[in-house]
Structures are given as C-alpha cells and as structure tokens.
Amino acid sequence: MVHVTRGGDGPLLVLLHGLGATGSVWRGVAESWPGSWMAVDLPGHGRSAALERYSFGALAAAVAAVVPGGPVAVLGHSLGGVVALTLASGWFGVDVRAAGGVGVKLRWTAEELARAASLAARPARVFGTRAEASAWAGKLAGVPLEDGVVEVGGSGESVGTGGSAGVGRSAEAVGSGGTAGSGGTVEAAGSGGTGGAGGTGGTVKLGGSGESGGSGGWRAALDSGAFGVGAPDVAGLLAVAKAPVFLAAGETDHMCPPEHLRAAQPSGIVLPGVGHNAHVEQPASIKPVLDRLHAALVG
C-alpha cells in the first residue's frame, strides 16, 4: 500500500519526498501549485508499506501504481528527485510531461555508499516516548516531521488507523539493552518506556505482546532498508528521459553543491538563500521549478 494525500484542482503535480521524510513536507509548496497535486509517502516511509528490497525502479513502480491516468508533472526532493527522473523514462506507464529534482545528490564516494549499506542493515531504534522518536525521525529526514513515527509492540501486527505501518521487516522488541539479531528487526534499546497515545494522523500502532516491560515504545516510520537503495545513474536517467527535466539545488546545499548541479545539467537552477531542504526552509524558493513544470505540463 502506498499512502497519498491529494488537493487542488487542475493539472496534476506528483510530489515525492526525500529519504526519511513523508509527503507532508511538501505542504508549503503544494499550496502554491496552480492545479491539483498528490503528495506520496514513498514505500518504507510514513504510512506506506515497506519493500523487501529497495531500488529506484521498485520505488518508481510503487508510485506509478497510484498515479492516475493522464498527463502529470513530477517533482521530487533528493531520493524523490531520482524517482521522479526514473518515472520520466516512460518505463512505468506514467504520462510524465515534465520532471523536477531538487537537491539530488549527484556524486557518491565508496565510503558514503558503504555507510549507507551499514545503516540499511541496522535495526531501528526504539524510544520510550513519541517525542523522542519524533526527534529521531526528524534527524533522519533532516526536517521536522509530524507524521514520521510508529508505535511498536511485540507481534509486529499493524493495527493503527493511518494505513500500513510500512515495516516489511519484523517489529520485534527484545528487551532491555538487547540486540535484535538480523538486520531489519526493531531493537528495543533500554527498558521500553511508555507507549503513549496511539494511532492518529500519521501514527501507526503495532500491537501485540512480548515487548520489553510490556509497554512497547516508538520508532521512526522509516524502514532502515531504504538506506540501501544505492547511488543513482543520473546521467543515464537524463539521457533516457522522455520529458523535460529540471534539476535544482539550494546555493548552500552540501549534498548537491551548485558546481555538481551545473556539471550534471548546465541549465540547473541554483536557488538562492536555501540549503538542501529548500522546499521546507523556504517553500517559495521552489517557484522557478514550479513555473517550468507548469509551463511544460500545460503548454
């Protein structure tokens, strides 16, 4: 299951967030789009189910399954930007008329890829309170999140109201200070704490017995396996795109510095006064990208 939020009326913009975030980070941008929009929780994020294995193609296929027929523009941030470019290939049956990528990391070192693979194999951290888990989820995403946590019990059964828990891997609480065993299970570090109020908005509760101290805990909704998606072939995706592609990055984006952006696409748009999360820092800064997408979509 892939969770989407919709709004507006008119030409459709599909919004794809970055690693660790949720579709809610696009709220400020969506309000300024002159048409309809749909913000997607990518698989393994927010209220969307996890994948057994993450690749850009698998993410694109999951998104394609929820995009309605007809022409669309697609705008993604970071990981979501790569998925947007992947959809622009035409391989997944979506009628993409324009695609945008903001803050896409274009150069990866072997050390960075090894670190990402290590993170993908780690069990999730479980906290005693929702506030602690929310702070950790925001740290993983690089932006504050209102809907980035799930409540964890012992059985791994999703019983919440917000849709699928997006766990995929088992949600096992293993007691005080224990280890979870194989990668992908949830490790309950510490004594468990209180579960808090469950199952509203973006919070999904995982019920069952066997949690540490009988009270469970909270964790980031992000499936750690998503860290293992790997490095994108952006040059290849640009070469096969069947629609105009607009790359952009904040002028202080450490993940996609302007010189990397312009090397990949000489016409790349440098957004003044913002960093990696331009769409959250200053939603209005994305306007040059939105203008180009809209013109290509309706023109």
Domains along the sequence of the chain with CATH:
4-108+231-298 (3.40.50.1820), 111-226 (no CATH)
Inter-CA distances, 107 with 89, 153, 175, 196, 276, Å: 21, 39, 40, 41, 15
Judged against a pLDDT cut of 90, whether residue 23 lies above it is answered with yes
pTM of the model: 0.82
pLDDT for the residue numbered 189: 26
Q: In this structure, what DSSP letter does residue 35 have?
A: S
Tell me if 217 sits within 8 A of 211, measured CB to CB. yes
List the structure tokens of 237. Answer: 């995706």
The DSSP secondary-structure symbol of 182 reads S
Examine the pLDDT at 221 and tell me if it is beyond 60.
yes
Confidence of residue 9 (pLDDT cuts 50, 70, 90): very high
Q: Which residue has the higher pLDDT, 192 or 266?
A: 266
Task: For the chain, state the CA radius of gyration.
Answer: 19
End-to-end CA distance of the chain: 33
Dihedral angle at the C-alpha atoms of 275, 278, 281, 284, nearest 10 degrees? 140
Q: Strand 217-220: give its sheet, edge to edge.
A: 157-158, 204-207, 149-152, 217-220, 124-127, 186-187
- Which residue's structure tokens are 């109201």? 161
Q: What's the chain's length in residues? A: 299
Residue pair 245/291 in contact (Cβ under 8 Å)? The answer is: no
Provide mean pLDDT across the span 25-48. 97
- CB proximity list for 48: less than 8 A, separation 6 or greater: 1, 2, 3, 40, 41, 42, 62, 163, 164, 166
The whole-number pLDDT of residue 208 equals 33
**Tens digit of pLDDT for each residue in 84-113?**
999 999 999 999 999 999 999 999 999 999
What confidence category does residue 154 fall into, taking pLDDT thresholds of 50, 70 and 90?
Answer: low
Taking 50 as the threshold, does the pLDDT of residue 168 lie above it? no
**Displacement of CA 226 from its chain's centroid (Å):** 9
Rounded Cα–Cα distance for residues 46 and 31 (Å): 21
**Per-residue pLDDT at 201 exceeds 50:** no
Burial class (CB in 10 A: 0-12, 13-18, 19+), 144: middle
What per-residue confidence (pLDDT) applies to 146?
82
d(CA 100, CA 295): 13
Structure tokens at 264: 């990949």
Q: Which among 53, 13, 93 is positioned nearest to 286, based on CA atoms?
A: 13
